[in-house]
Amino acid sequence: MTDKNSTLFFVVNPRAGSGKTMCEWLPAEKELERAGIDYITAMTDHKRHATSLAMEACQLGYRKIIAVGGDGSLHEVFNGICRWCENSNCDISDFFIGVIPIGSGNDWIKSLGIEKDARAALECVCSPEYRMMDVIRVQSSGSRVCYMANVGGVGFDSHVCRRVNSQKESGRRGKLIYLNSLVYTVSTLRSIRVACYADGEMVFSGECYSIALGNGKYSGSGMRQVPAAEIDDSLVDYMIVPRLPLGRILLEAPRIFTGTINQSPYVVSGQCKSFKVMPLDAESEDILELDGELEGRLPISVEVLPSQIRVMTRRLKNR
C-alpha cells in the first residue's frame, strides 16, 4: 500500500521553461524510478490548473507536493495547499513543498540556496532534510485571498509582470520579453496615491511608484527589492519607492541588484507582521502581483500566519 505521507506528488507544467519542461522532466522521472522512490505525476493543461491539482492531492492525503516548472507553477501549487488547509482547518506544517526549477523564472529557490539545476533539486526534494517557511496571507479588493511564497507588490513591478505574462500568453518566449516589458513600463510609469501601514502604524502616505513585499529576497531574475527578507523570521519585508525625479530613480536603481536598496535614504523600508496598503483615490486602485502572478487589486491586507510549511533545502554533504 502506498504511504501518501512520503510519496512525492509532482504537479508538472509542460509549458514552463519555453516549452522545454518534458526534455528535463522525463530524465528526472527515470532517476526516481532507478532510486525506487514512490511518486505520482499530474500534468496541468491550463492556467490555475496546478492549484486545483494541489488541492486534490491534499484531499487524497498526499503531503509532499512538488511543482515542476517556474515560480508561477510554485505559486499555484502553494496556493492550492494553503487554500485547502484554510478550508479544512488542517495544519499547514504537515505539508512539504518544493520545486523542480525548469521554468523561465526561478527566484524562490535562490533564497533557499539551491541552484537552477533539475537533478540537484530532485535530490533536495527526495532528501529528508527541510526548512520551515513562513506563510504570507494576502487579502485584496473584494475579500479575495491569496498566499505569497516569495515576493509581490504593486506599482512598477506589477505592471512589468502584467506585460510579461501577456506576452507569454500570446506565445512569445525568451529573456527579451523581460527587457521589453521593463523598458515599456519605465516609459509609461505613473505614480499612485496610497497610505501604507506596518503593524497598524502609518509608515507612508502620498504618491509612490512601487511597493514591494517580500518573504524571500529575490525576484525578477535576481533583483533584491527586499534584501533583508528571510523565509523563516515570521516577518514580511516592505520597500516603498516614493515619487522621485527620474534621474534620482536611475541613480538608485543599481542598489536593487547589489542588495543595498534598503540603505537608500530615498526609499521607505522595514519589516512587520502585518502590512496594509490603502488607495487614496479610485485611480490608485492598482493591480497586485504575487510571485509573478496577477492576483487582484488594492486595497490589500497582508499578514504572516503563525504556522509554517516545510520546504526543500540545499542538501548538506559530507556530514
Domain boundary among 77, 95, 128: 128
38 in the same domain as 151: no
Q: Same structural domain for residues 300 and 178? A: yes
Name the pTM for this structure: 0.93
- The percentage of residues in the chain with a pLDDT greater than 70, rounded to a whole number, is 92
Domain of residue 118, CATH code: 3.40.50.10330
* Position 25 confidence tier, pLDDT thresholds 50, 70, 90: confident
User: Do 268 and 218 fall within a single domain?
Assistant: yes
Residue 281: Cβ within 10 Å count: 9
**Nearest residue to 225 via CA among 267, 182, 178, 163:** 267
Asked, as a colleague might, if the bond just before 299 is cis with ω within 30 of 0, I would say yes
Neighbours of 107 (CB within 10 A): 24
Domain of 183, in residue numbers: 139-305
Q: Say which residue, 75 or 223, is predicted with more confidence.
A: 75
Express each pLDDT in 144-196 by its tens digit.
999 999 999 999 889 888 887 777 666 666 666 666 777 777 777 889 999 99
Same domain, yes or no: 93 and 222: no
